[in-house]
Structure 1
Amino acid sequence: MSTYTRAQAIVDGVLVEAGSLVKENVFKWPVALTSAVWADCVAWSDDHSENQVYQDQSGRLWDVLYMASYEIRNSNGSYNQMLFQLFRVPRDGKSTEAEIVTLKLIVGPGDNGEPVITILLPNED
């Protein structure tokens, strides 16, 4: 029997590790975002800043992590899955105003049973 692990999903690019900003946002566990969340809410280039509005990728990641941590702090720790919202400028080559987007946060076991957090689009599993 073969199992697709979290580590394999990270290597394959299906999940993207949030990196060092996780600790700055007071997360105790590793955080990864799906590639779809990364593309929609985090990814940003100099071209986007020139054509749309100035932002940077680390600031956009900070916003996602901050709002996720805010939701966790306000949930009184009793949920393993929750929805949260944030404002982000769509990466479409023309938008300059932030729009609200809903994301899903799941706390679950990692490859070795340790707690991990995954941030997904609401329609992703």
Structure 2
Amino acid sequence: MSEPWPVIHTYTRREAISDGVLVELDEHAAARIPWHTAITAAAYADAIEWDETNPLPQDESGRAWDVLVCAAAAVRSRAVPDRREQRIPMSVWRVPNTAHSVAPRPLRLVAHLGPGDDGEPVLTVMLPEED
């Protein structure tokens, strides 16, 4: 019988949230997402972050809500029951956070449903090229 491989390094979800690599989306329960939900910093910057000096009537809480509702819909329509880990494609229409953008554009994202630090199900929203 072979011995298990030694663990070289670990990086937990809690550490990623503490470091700012992941941003918690606390409104997940109101959006009817039963799992702890976070978004990567890169996806947050593209989908949610808003410059308050931009004159358009947008705010980060509203943009976060849009991401959560789209994630909930994607998971409900495409998740495979009893599968431990899944990457579910999704998109959200958002006004890009630039000075001259006024029209919403689609942003492709992924809702990753998988195990958290203690094996509990968690949802992480990310850009398609992230893992």
**TM-score, with length taken from structure 1:** 0.91
Task: Report the counterpart of residue 121 of structure 1 in structure 2.
Answer: 127
Q: Does 1:45 align with 2:51?
A: yes
Structure 1's unaligned 5+ residue stretches are: none
1:84-116 deviation digits (Å, cap 9, x = unpaired): 111000112210100011100111111111110
SS in 2 for 1:69: helix
SS in 2 for 1:46: coil
Where in structure 2 are the equivalents of 1:1-125 lying within 5 Å? 1-19=8-26, 21-48=27-54, 50=55, 53-75=56-78, 77-78=80-81, 80-125=86-131
Deviation at 1:45, TM superposition (A): 3.3
Aligned residues: 121
SS in 2 for 1:94: coil
Counterparts of 2:79 and 2:90, CA distance in 1:
14
1:24-66 deviation digits (Å, cap 9, x = unpaired): 1101110000001111111113212x2xx21111000000000
Counterparts of 2:106 and 2:93, CA distance in 1:
4
Q: Which runs of 4+ in 1 moved over 6 A?
A: none
Cα 1:6–1:76 change in 2 (3 A) is closer
Cα 1:2–1:39 change in 2 (3 A) is same
Counterparts of 1:46 and 1:71, CA distance in 2:
29
CA contact (8 A) 1:45 1:57 kept: no
Counterparts of 1:76 and 1:43, CA distance in 2:
27
Counterparts of 1:114 and 1:8, CA distance in 2:
16
Structure 2's unaligned 5+ residue stretches are: 1-7
User: Which has the larger share of helix?
Assistant: 1
